[in-house]
Amino acid sequence: MEAKAQSTVVRVSSQKAGLVCKLIMNKPIEEAFAILENSPQKTAPILRKILNSAVANATENHGMTSEGLYVKRAFANEGPTMKRFRARAKGRADLKYKRTSHITVVVTDEKRGK
């Protein structure tokens, strides 16, 4: 059985969030929490909250125990992009893109097939 948690419109680019998601994919949740605790990336605390929510969803809603869980999937999709202008010399302006992402974590208690 699977349980998932999702956070939408997170103020970090999906490319940077995807790199941290790859670190915890197919890992037991204890190891995933340890990786996120020691990771210096901006996305690590955000992903730790989402993983904690997915574990809580699994135990509370689906009746799974937290000991046998592992991260089945973790991915970051591109969210809406905010466009901002920055003043430059001679009355010009540069366009700045403030990117966001939708981060999803899926945990399961089924055996891993490798």
Q: Average pLDDT, whole number, for the chain? A: 94
Please tell me the distance from the alpha carbon of residue 102 to that of residue 11, in angstroms, as a whole number: 9
Task: Please enumerate in sequence order all residues whose Cβ is within 8 A of that of 35, keeping only pairs 6 or more positions apart, or say none.
Answer: 23, 24, 27
**pLDDT-derived band at 108, boundaries 50, 70, 90:** very high
pLDDT at position 50 = 97
Q: How confident is the model at residue 113 (pLDDT cuts 50, 70, 90)?
A: low
Residue-wise pLDDT tens digits, 47-102: 999 999 999 999 999 999 988 899 999 999 999 999 999 999 999 999 999 999 99
Q: What is the per-residue pLDDT for 112?
A: 66
Q: pTM surpassing 0.85?
A: yes
State the CATH class of domain 2-108: alpha beta
| Domain locations along the chain | 2-108
Phi, psi of 46 (to 5 degrees): -65, -45
